[in-house]
Amino acid sequence: MKYDPAGLKGRVAVVTGGGRGIGKAISAKLADAGAKVVVADVDEDSARQTAKELAGLSGDVIGSFVDVAQEESVSSLMKIALETFGRIDILVNNAGIMFRTRLMDISLDEWERTLQINLTGVFLCTKAVLPIMKESGFGRIVNISSSAGRSVSTLGGAHYTASKAGLLGLTRAAAKEMAPLGITVNAICPGLIETKMAMETTTPEELQKFLDSFPIPRLGSPEEIGHLVHFLCTDEAAYITGASLDINGGDLMI
């Protein structure tokens, strides 16, 4: 399949957790492909800084605050996106948090916080864009789950695994309901990717042990996730929906 560098021209994308890491690389890839991008993050400074950095690429990029766990915050984000760019075609639900706490020590508060951001946040963002996508008859929703959702997290606790597994269920249910409206909904399940989330929660020795056990013995890059998200957002990916796509160097083969 030929790569069309302007394949997303005219499309408008909202990327949550876009201020750094995987979300930043996804925002860059979509902007590079011609999309107008709203980089949304609870860390507003990082969202604005990333938007500034990406402004040199072909699309228009703005940074905006969002706390995906708060319904009002999510609806003002979508309002800003609509007021600025006039439409929303692509939603990438990437914002997420991870704690390594073991099951016996997980407080109810930490459990609820993880579920609220990693799962309820995706529900809130998805619900907010559906009427907009329904009206235009086109939509691409990409949910960033994890290998954790397909098996058990390498680093994260039970709350992280549960939230990412739940996200795969939400992806399938939404895909089935939204297919007749021209909206596809897919999940990407990354293995260990080189971002602050992975690097700050592990030691170099522990990391090396993981890498040595992978068939492709290295960390994945945020850009590799960006490429896959980009493909799912193109017209060529119109027949893919409800899928959970693994990208993990062969760490998990199912």
Ligand X SMILES: NC(=O)c1ccc[n+]([C@@H]2O[C@H](COP(=O)([O-])OP(=O)(O)OC[C@H]3O[C@@H](n4cnc5c(N)ncnc54)[C@H](O)[C@@H]3O)[C@@H](O)[C@H]2O)c1
141: which strand partners? 91, 185
Helices (H), 179-221: 196-199, 204-213
239 carries an active-site annotation: no
> Does residue 66 belong to the site contacting ligand X (CB under 6 A)?
yes
Total of chain residues touching ligand X, rule CB under 6 A? 30
Distances from the Cα of 106 to the Cα of 116, 158, 198, 240, angstroms:
15, 9, 20, 37
> Does residue 183 belong to the site contacting ligand X (CB under 6 A)?
no
Strand (E) positions, 104-249?
139-144, 183-190, 244-247
Rounded-to-integer distance, Cα 239 and Cα 161, Å: 28
Tell which one of 126, 186, 195, 241 touches ligand X (CB under 6 A): 195
Tell which one of 27, 64, 94, 171 touches ligand X (CB under 6 A): 94
Stretch that binds ligand X, among 95-103, 175-183, 206-214, 232-240 (CB under 6 A): 95-103
CB of 185 to ligand X, least distance (A): 16
Tell which one of 7, 14, 15, 19 touches ligand X (CB under 6 A): 19
CB of 118 to ligand X, least distance (A): 6
> Does residue 142 belong to the site contacting ligand X (CB under 6 A)?
no
Query: Catalytic: which of 85, 111, 160, 231?
Result: 160
Stretch that binds ligand X, among 94-102, 174-182, 205-213, 231-239 (CB under 6 A): 94-102
14 phi and psi angles, rounded to 5 deg = -115, 125
> Does residue 233 belong to the site contacting ligand X (CB under 6 A)?
no
Rounded-to-integer distance, Cα 157 and Cα 166, Å: 14
Q: Which residues contact 63 (CB under 8 A, 6 or more apart)?
A: 18, 19, 38, 39, 40, 41, 44, 47, 48, 49, 50, 51, 52
> Does residue 249 belong to the site contacting ligand X (CB under 6 A)?
no
> Does residue 95 belong to the site contacting ligand X (CB under 6 A)?
yes
CB of 55 to ligand X, least distance (A): 18
Q: Is residue 224 classed as helix, strand or coil in its secondary structure?
A: helix
- Which parts of this chain interact with ligand X (CB under 6 A)? 16-17, 19-23, 41-43, 46, 66-69, 94-98, 117, 144, 146, 190, 192-193, 195-198
Residues carrying an active site annotation: 160
